[in-house]
Amino acid sequence: MGVLRDLDKLCINFLWNKADKSSGIHYVEWKILYKQIMFGGQGVVSAVDKVGSWREKFPWSLISNPGSLLNRILIAKYGRNFCFSESKLGCSPTWKILNNGGKFLQQIVKWKVSDGKSINTTKDIWILDKSIDRWPTYVSNLLDEQCCLRYFLHNGSWNIQMLNQSFGKELVDLISTVPINVGSPGDELEILYKYSGKSLASLISDQRSTLEEEDVSWKWLKKLKLRPRVKILWWRLIHKAIRSNEFLMYRRIINFNGCPRGCCEVEDANHLTVNCFFLKKVICVIQKWGFNIQVFSDLESCYN
């Protein structure tokens, strides 16, 4: 992890430090920069952020190949119930890595129902491609004993009476179509999109993308097809990363946030883009030349 953090630090220094190697101002948070462009970032790869999705192959090996020497030792020590959660104090570094990768692996695996003992009814994925507690229209009213899926199974088939007591008719009909592997020794995990041809890391990256909301401001800005420098300027305006006096005073670099041109107003992003008296004066001259340039009251009006 130390090596990966150093890689991220090199990327940060490349973006913000000056040509003479002196330190520059970090205008935007690193966690915003490494987001994909469609989510309001710049698509810079963060090694630390990706490490969990790179580790998912280790817990998948533990699940799919339990007969190897390392996996037999881990199963003997930690058991077969692979509910990856926060690592406990005193556990080995190997198990910490497995736990970290297991949290990401859970996003792309689905349970094949057999006896239901290993499956949490609402928190695990066993219907379609999403756990029930993440469905936007579902409100859980299950008791503690109903959290285990075996409560809803009886003699190798679904207990419709119990299902009707806890779920609505549409959901009961959907659950009834889920096959039960009676001959299997226990519940098993399988990859959700195993025939997609993608690696596990790519599947996790795609799954994480579906959980984030697309940035509305950047969505329409992309369609304008601006020049790169102009596009970056607008991106910085959206994220309030312009070197105005207000920004510099907030960072405690200077102790004056007024406009240096004598407008007697605070120099922030609004002032730099639409409110500066001298800017309006220049626009009035350009309008007299026959160019139709609008004058806005604030930056939000300019966006709209």
pLDDT in tens, 127-164: 887 787 777 766 666 666 667 888 888 887 888 888 88
Residue with the two structure tokens 């970090």: 26
Along the 304 residues of the chain, how does pLDDT read in single tens digits? 889 899 988 888 888 888 887 888 888 888 888 887 777 788 888 888 888 778 888 888 877 787 888 888 877 877 766 666 656 666 778 878 888 787 778 777 788 888 877 787 777 788 887 787 777 766 666 666 667 888 888 887 888 888 888 778 888 888 888 888 877 777 777 777 776 677 777 777 766 666 566 666 677 777 888 898 988 888 888 888 888 888 888 888 888 888 888 888 888 888 888 888 888 889 999 999 999 888 888 888 887 7
CA distance 167 to 226: 51
Amino acid (1-letter code) at residue 73: I
pLDDT value, residue 209: 61
Helix (H) or strand (E) holding 169: helix 169-176
Radius of gyration of the chain (CA): 28
Please compute, for residue 51, the number of CA atoms within 13 A of its CA located in the half-sphere on the CB side: 15
pLDDT value, residue 286: 93
CA 120 to chain centre: 24
Q: Nearest Cα to 84, choosing from 56, 121, 112? A: 56
Helix (H) or strand (E) holding 112: strand 109-112
Phi/psi-derived region of residue 116, left when phi > 0, alpha when psi is between -120 and 50, beta in every other case? left
φ/ψ of 154, rounded to 5, equals: -150, 115
Number of Cβ atoms within 10 Å of the Cβ of 294 = 9
Number of Cβ atoms within 10 Å of the Cβ of 218 = 19
Task: Provide the residue ranges of all domains of the chain, joining segments of one domain with +.
Answer: 109-192
Q: For residue range 204-242, what is the model confidence (pLDDT) as tens digits? A: 776 666 656 666 667 777 788 889 898 888 888 888 888
Residue with the two structure tokens 């399988």: 190
Q: Nearest Cα to 98, choosing from 118, 78, 117? A: 78
